[in-house]
Amino acid sequence: MIDTVDATTAPGSSTATFHPLAVASIETLTDDAVAVTFAIPTSLAAGYRFTAGQHVIVRRSVDGVEHRRTYSICAPEGSGDIRIGVRRITDGVVSTWITSELRVGDVVEVSTPAGSFGRSLAQRAPDHVAMVAVGSGITPTLSMVATHLATTSHARATLILGNRSASSTMFLDEIASLKDRYLDRLHVIQVFSREERIVPLQNGRIDQDRTASLLAAFVDPAEVDDWFLCGPLEAMSAVETVLLSRDVDPLRIHRELFHAGRPLARRDLSASDQGTQVEVLLNGSRTVLTGRDLTGSILDGVLAQRADAPFSCRNGICGTCKARTISGTVEMESTWALDSSEIDDGIVLTCQARPTSERVSLEFL
């Protein structure tokens, strides 16, 4: 019953695969959020090994329509636990099912881990990391901060958390116990948008003004080696804008978005598009897209012909659909899931890409 739809991971890493996993436990985190841990059979343990900051894809079919959603792993690296934290979104197809209907013992299609959000923690072992997590953005952040403090004895971390209130904060107890364990090395700053704190600076939303004030009061960007930002687009853009205005190297700012606008819209083909040809290499075989295959994104064209194309969000934020450009050029509507070094290396998000040269050749990662 094992299915082999591929979901590509970071550049150069191996592909991920879906397996049916039983739910081992469900913990209530807040009124609208739960943590779910999946049981991993010994035979699959190696495949579900992950690095801090990675995510899995949950797949669910409703009335014959397949839905895929990405969820970050909140457990520390090396724990062996595939534990995710899910917040219910109003009318959300997958989050409402997970937070309201899922029960221990149910079997769920879950991909092996993918993603490269925490890559530079492992590669650089930075001294001082600062993390800004808004709402459910705490999920990968919790894994990364716990892993980094446990594995790098000299490391310090500053954690800025944005939530509506203490009661709506996911993983509050775990953040508190990390704080107790690393009293001198972890600084946690909580900001609440709907709960009054004694310090006015900690009341409100994380926007540009508040970010600038928080930096002035608590953390000098010149003393931070790497920044990790995770949460909604608006807050993350505000933080990034302020950091860039303070001369933080863009390569030291790592961000992961959980939600962005709509998928790339389909469009009519112009006369000049008619002769365009896109060749795609995927899992060792070649697919050629022409004409009507190219009214949507390159990923749409591939999915119309093949079921094994890797994807999840189709919104340019999860990075599952990455491919390397072999020849030709494409334009992308959004590149949130790519860092600047990947763009320089010709990595593209196929769910956001349309060809801009007559011949394009891409290879899925």
Residue 316, binding choice from ligand FAD, ligand FES, none, Cβ under 5 to 8 Å by partner class: ligand FES
Q: Is 163 in the site for ligand FAD (CB under 6 A)?
A: no
> Is 71 one of the binding residues for ligand FAD (CB under 6 A)?
yes
* Residue number with CB closer to ligand FES (31 or 363): 363
Question: Of 46-54, 189-197, 215-223, 312-320, which part binds ligand FES (CB under 6 A)?
Answer: 312-320
Scanning residues 198 to 257, which ones bind ligand FES (CB under 6 A)?
none
From residue 232, how far is each of 134, 162, 207, 267, 308 by CA, in Å? 7, 11, 11, 28, 29
List the interface residues with ligand FAD, window 285-344 (CB under 6 A): 313, 317-318
- Mask for 330-349, x = binds ligand FES (CB under 6 A): -------x-----------x
Q: Rule CB under 6 A: is residue 112 a binding residue for ligand FAD? A: no
Which of 163-171, 196-204, 253-261, 319-327 is the region at the interface with ligand FES (rule: CB under 6 A)? 319-327
Sign of the torsion angle spanned by Cα atoms 70, 71, 72, 76: negative
362 lies in the site for ligand FES, by CB under 6 A: no
CB of 96 to ligand FAD, least distance (A): 6
Q: Is 319 in the site for ligand FES (CB under 6 A)?
A: yes
- Within residues 89-108, the interface with ligand FAD by CB under 6 A covers 89, 91-96
Q: What is the DSSP string of 35-65?
A: EEEEE--GGGTTTT---TT-EEEEEEEETTE
**From ligand FES, ligand FAD, none, which one binds at residue 76 (CB under 5 to 8 Å depending on kind)?**
none
Residue among 248, 235, 190, 244 nearest 208 (CA): 235
For residue 197, report the phi and psi dihedrals to the nearest 5 degrees.
-105, 160
Terminal Cα-to-Cα distance of the chain (whole angstroms): 25
Binders of ligand FAD among 39-68, rule CB under 6 A? 55
C-beta of 2: minimal distance to ligand FAD in Å? 23
Under DSSP, is residue 224 helix (H, G, I), strand (E, B) or coil? coil
Rounded to whole angstroms, the Cα distance separating 137 from 259 reads 11
Hey, how many other C-beta atoms are within 10 angstroms of the C-beta on 3? Answer: 13
- Identify residues 229-268 at the interface with ligand FAD (CB under 6 A): 256, 258-259
Out of 86, 159, 161, 219, the only residue in the binding site for ligand FAD (CB under 6 A) is 86
Residue 162 makes contact with ligand FES by CB under 6 A: no
Taking residue 161's Cβ as centre, other Cβ atoms within 10 Å add up to: 24
Query: According to CB under 6 A, which one of 51, 72, 112, 147 is a site residue for ligand FAD?
Result: 72
Tell me how far apart the alpha carbons of residues 151 and 160 are, in angstroms, rounded to a whole number: 21
The runs of H, that is alpha helices, within the chain are 93-96, 119-124, 138-151, 172-181, 208-218, 233-245, 298-305, 340-344
- Residue 192 as a binder of ligand FES (CB under 6 A): the answer is no
The rounded distance, in Å, linking the Cα atoms of 351 and 316 is 6
CA 102 to chain centre: 22
Residues binding ligand FES (CB under 6 A) = 311-314, 316-321, 337, 349, 351
Residues binding ligand FAD (CB under 6 A) = 55, 69-72, 84-87, 89, 91-96, 136, 139, 256, 258-259, 313, 317-318
